[in-house]
Amino acid sequence: MSELLTITGLTKRFGGLTAVNAVSFSIVRGEVIGLLGPNGSGKTTVLNMISGHLSPTGGTIALGEETISGLAPNRIALKGVARTFQLVRGLPSLTVRENVVASLAFGRRKLWGEEADREALRRLEEVGLAGRAEHSAQDLTYIDQKRMELARALAADPELLLLDEWLAGLNPTELRTGIDLILSLKERGITILLVEHVMDAIRAVCNRCVVMNAGRKIADAPTAQALADPHVVTAYLGDAHA
Amino acid sequence: MNGKTILAIAGFIATIAALAFVPFVVGPYGVTLMIGMLGYVVLATAWALFSGPTRYVSLATVAFFGVGAYTVAVFSESIPYPLLLLVAAGIGLGVALVVGIATLRLAGVYFVIFTFGLAELIRQLVTWYEVNVTGTLGRYIFLPITPEGIYWQLLALAAITFAIAWWIGRSRIGLALRVIGDDEVVAVHCGINITGVKLALFGLSCTIITLVGAIQAPRWTYVEPSIAFNPTISFLTLIMALLGGAHRLTGPLLGAVPLFLMFEWLSANFPNHYSIFLGLIFIAIVFVLPRGVLAFIEERWTLWRRNEPVSGRTADE
């Protein structure tokens, strides 16, 4: 077992607010880890620090042997971390294909021209969007925008994929498709850290869950065990239910 | 390279060649008019090179234009002419890189205000220097360059600018600029070094703008800061690029030609009320054609085609 991601004492303060407080956990290559917790518990902040969107106030993040905390997001992307965003971020003035080419052209693979176009189409096929390749990205439905964003992240051939509530807002049928998609990524051996609230999805895809509350880690265990942890139940539902 | 591209390149070369003969056909007034027009075509195209895809609206055009003109004014007697252009381009690029490093982190309206302030700052600095150090406000430029010579230089600069813009539009860096314009956070997560890309394009755009000022300077014979750093130049460049459409290669050209001719006519016929018309036209363009003439025509065209009675099309809809 080799650790792909090692987070040690990670802390983020915004003025007087400590959003993430000395959080430590690690992810083994090939694992799918759920990062859970009530709203405002600091999950997305952790994700943002891993991808470099925010720089930590304290602690370290290592990808393999290499410390990546404090690097610019483009440097971290080139080391093999890709992500989707909580609020979908498509590139509206580009076509769907160009959205994926963006990640192929500047990511680790540096593909361009026909080669990049072919690869982009292949990536769009994986998420079921090949038919819309030449559409403008702003014309896509919500689920298709999410698919496009995932295709863009996958096109970077990441070692670590960060999904920030990628399944949120989907209807039951779309959710099934979404879960299957994540499971197929898991089979391919992609290491995934996902922030998620959809419990069915968490049970279906996560090997292990890290649970946060008010900026601290309160549980870190195999999925079923983590979800049954009294601290976790209290954090989500309040004392009476524990 | 497909047939269409080859045809476009051939058409481009033929156009430039044909334009090179214009001074032999038109009189001195024609050449003067063409110099002004070409100057704005290059300014607007160079402006759109950076500001079009990234949507960083720059009002610093005249800062660089003026730096070019003043470099020629100051060194016209000490540096031989072709070298003088290189020196001007170098100074323009240097200023652009320093300014770029300091400001390209600013977004939206802050960048607009900063660039406007920059143009004023440089003008005030030059004025202060001339008054306190040189002891005189204006300078004379005596260079043995004919209007035709200026015209041909501008034409060459226009050809180079279009070639660069065309190449960028098809290259990786062109895509990087569009990604940055849409969402900088996504851009940086795709692996794009956004500061590097923005700085490179801002530097390139400003260097070309500086050269326009340097090439046109000998036309004036006499320069002073209020002429070389006239903010109207920044606004005209901006509105020309917007009118044509700053996201397309030929957009700024299509905006610059008609607007330049109109402003020429207005300033000749209504010298005292010129700026009133200028303001009204600015407002009208922003209200009526916010995305430019080309985009407007394209939209109409799509609508018109959609409304055409097409038999059999309803079947699969």
Strands A81-83 and A66-67: unpaired
Contact assessment for residue A4 and residue A28, using Cβ atoms and an 8 Å cutoff: yes
- High-pLDDT (> 70) share of chain B, %: 96
Contact assessment for residue B98 and residue B104, using Cβ atoms and an 8 Å cutoff: no
Does residue B57 belong to the interface with chain A, where contact is any CB pair within 8 Å?
no
Residue B176 in tokens:
């990087």
- For residues A135 and A138, give the distance between their C-alpha atoms in angstroms, rounded to a whole number: 8
> Which tens digits make up the pLDDT trace of A174-186?
899 889 999 999 9
Instruction: Provide the pLDDT for residue B312.
Output: 40
Q: Which residues of A touch B178 (CB under 8 A)?
A: 91, 93-94, 98
User: How does DSSP assign A77-120, residue by residue?
Assistant: HHTTEEE--SS----TTSBHHHHHHHHHHHSSS---THHHHHHH
Contact assessment for residue A197 and residue A170, using Cβ atoms and an 8 Å cutoff: no
Q: Which residues of A touch B176 (CB under 8 A)?
A: 105-106
Average pLDDT of the residues of chain A: 92
Q: Which residues of A touch B185 (CB under 8 A)?
A: 53, 73, 85, 89
Q: Please answer yes or no on whether B192 and A85 come within 8 Å at the CB atom.
A: no
Terminal Cα-to-Cα distance of chain B (whole angstroms): 36
> Which residue do the tokens 């650790």 mark?
A3
Residue A14 in tokens:
């915004």
Instruction: Provide the pLDDT for residue A20.
Output: 96
- For residues B283 and B199, give the distance between their C-alpha atoms in angstroms, rounded to a whole number: 31
Contact assessment for residue B122 and residue B67, using Cβ atoms and an 8 Å cutoff: yes
Residue B36 in tokens:
């002004």
- For residues B245 and B263, give the distance between their C-alpha atoms in angstroms, rounded to a whole number: 19
Q: Indicate whether A241 pLDDT > 90.
A: no
Q: Indicate whether A68 pLDDT > 50.
A: yes
Facing residue for B191 by CB, picked from A91, A92, A106: A106
- Residues of chain B numbered 149-178 and touching chain A (CB < 8 Å): 172, 175-176, 178
Q: Which residues, in sequence order, are bridge partners of residue A62?
A: A6, A67
State pTM to two decimals. 0.89
Q: Please answer yes or no on whether A89 and B185 come within 8 Å at the CB atom.
A: yes
Q: From edge to edge, which strands make up the β-sheet containing A81-83?
A: A81-83, A160-164, A191-195, A32-36, A208-213, A216-222
Facing residue for A74 by CB, picked from B175, B183, B192: B192
Q: How far is A67 from chain B (nearest CA, A)?
A: 18
Q: How many CB pairs under 8 A join A and B?
A: 66
Q: CB within 8 A of B53, min separation 6: which ones?
A: B174, B177, B178, B180, B181, B247
Of all residues in chain B, the one with the smallest CA distance to A138 is: B182
Between the CA of residue B136 and those of B64, B78, B122, B124, what are the distances in Å?
22, 19, 17, 14
Facing residue for A53 by CB, picked from B176, B185, B247: B185
- For residues B291 and B307, give the distance between their C-alpha atoms in angstroms, rounded to a whole number: 23
Facing residue for A77 by CB, picked from B181, B189, B247: B189
Strands A216-222 and B139-140: unpaired
pLDDT by residue, tens only, chain B of 317 residues: 688 889 999 999 999 999 999 999 998 999 999 999 999 999 999 999 999 998 899 999 999 999 999 999 999 889 998 899 999 999 999 999 999 998 887 877 889 999 999 999 999 999 999 999 888 888 898 888 999 999 999 999 999 999 999 999 999 999 999 999 999 999 999 999 999 999 999 999 999 999 999 999 999 889 999 999 999 999 999 999 988 888 888 889 999 999 999 989 998 898 888 888 888 888 888 888 777 777 777 778 777 777 765 444 333 33
HSE-up (13 A, CA, CB side) for residue B276: 4
Q: Which residues of A touch B193 (CB under 8 A)?
A: 74
> Would you list the domain boundaries of chain B?
3-230
Instruction: Provide the pLDDT for residue A222.
Output: 95
Angle at A236 between CA A230 and CA A237, to 5 degrees: 85
- Mean pLDDT over A212-231 rounds to 92
Chain centroid to CA B127: how far?
25
Q: Please answer yes or no on whether A91 and B186 come within 8 Å at the CB atom.
A: yes
